[in-house]
Amino acid sequence: MTEPISFFSWLIGLWSSYQLEQLIVYIIVGILGIVAHYIKQYLTENVKGSIYKYMVKDSPKRSLAMILTFIGSAIGYVLSGATDGMTWASLIGLAFTTGYSLDSSINRSTTK
């Protein structure tokens, strides 16, 4: 049986690991999914104005809830090992879909 490592040893090892690379890619691509949802909302005239207005001025609490949920899901997916063995294409698809769908389900503009 292997000896368990301490939390801090694991955390230090994370900074140079494949999981950190996956986490960074997941977050970047997920943000692109969030932006894609805003663009869809803008093109269908469900929202007017900039992404800043949509995310910060119209519904800051919903936007914060969406961002925290997204970051939590990213950390949960990657650090739990759920993405181990996943191809980059699968990880990118999962991240984009997660960002898009979270923004779609949580974030709402109050002005049209």
Concatenating the DSSP letter of every residue in 56-82 gives III-HHHHHHHHHHHHHHHHHHHHTTT
Q: Are 15 and 79 in contact (CB under 8 A)?
A: no
Buried/exposed code over 20-41 (b: 16+ C-beta within 10 A; e: otherwise): eebbebbbebbbebbeebbeeb
Look up the domain containing 51 and give its range: 30-106
In a domain, 80, yes or no: yes
Q: Which of 70, 86, 65 is nearest to 33 (CA)?
A: 70
Average pLDDT, the chain: 87
In a domain, 72, yes or no: yes
Position 61 pLDDT exceeds 60: yes
Instruction: Provide the token pair at 86.
Output: 């996943």
- Kindly report, residue by residue over 80-101, the tens digit of the pLDDT: 888 888 999 999 999 999 999 9
Select the more confidently predicted residue: 111 or 95: 95
In a domain, 13, yes or no: no
In a domain, 8, yes or no: no
In a domain, 96, yes or no: yes
In a domain, 20, yes or no: no
What is the pTM for the complete model shown?
Answer: 0.83
State the total domains in the chain. Answer: 1
In a domain, 76, yes or no: yes
- Kindly report, residue by residue over 20-45, the tens digit of the pLDDT: 889 999 999 999 999 999 999 999 98
